[in-house]
Amino acid sequence: MRDYWLSKLFFDLQSPPLADEYRANRGAVLARYPLKPEVRAAVEADDVAALAKRVNPYLLRFYFLMAGMPEDDFLRRIRASGTSGKGKTAHG
């Protein structure tokens, strides 16, 4: 199950001007999306594991690249998350 507004936020952030605004003032952009409190908290905490449960993995990967998380850091966090609950991988 996808979280629609979280997905929409990540999708919209593919726009370079919005990504620039987000990196400069994350709160202003987040305020325009009706995120559930726990989802917004996960975004603000860069909680890869919590967000991975709610969005498409390609959008997740894009988001943290856009947000500036180093690749090694993202890999470490996503590998630690074990979020799929389906063993090694989720979607064939």
Partner 1 sequence: MAELVGVYAASHGPMIVRNWDKLAAEERNSLDTAFRELGRRITAARLDALIVISPDHWVNFFIDNLPSICVGVGEEHDGPPEPWFKAFPHRKMAGHPALAEHVVRTALERDFEPSVSYKLALDHGFCIPLWKAGIDPLPPIVPVVLNDIEPPFPSVKRCYAWGAMLAEAVAGFPGKLRVAVLATGGLSHSIGEPDMGRIDEDFDRDCIRRFENGDPPALLDFLNQRLPSAGNGASEVRNWVAAHGAARGRGFELIRYDPIPNVYVGCGFASWRLG
Residues that bind partner 1 (CB under 8 A): 2, 4, 7-8, 11, 14, 16, 52, 56-62, 75, 78-84, 87-92
Nearer residue to partner 1 within complex by CB, 25 or 82: 82
State the minimum distance, in angstroms, from the CB of residue 12 to partner 1: 9
Residue 13 Cβ vs partner 1, minimum distance, rounded to whole Å: 11
Phi-psi region of 38 (alpha: psi -120 to 50; beta: other; left: phi over 0): alpha
Based on CB atoms, which residue is closest to partner 1, 1 or 27?
A: 1
DSSP-assigned letters across all residues of 46-60: T-HHHHHTTS-HHHH
How crowded is the C-beta side of 28, counted as CA atoms within 13 Å?
Answer: 8
Nearer to partner 1, 14 or 25 (CB): 14
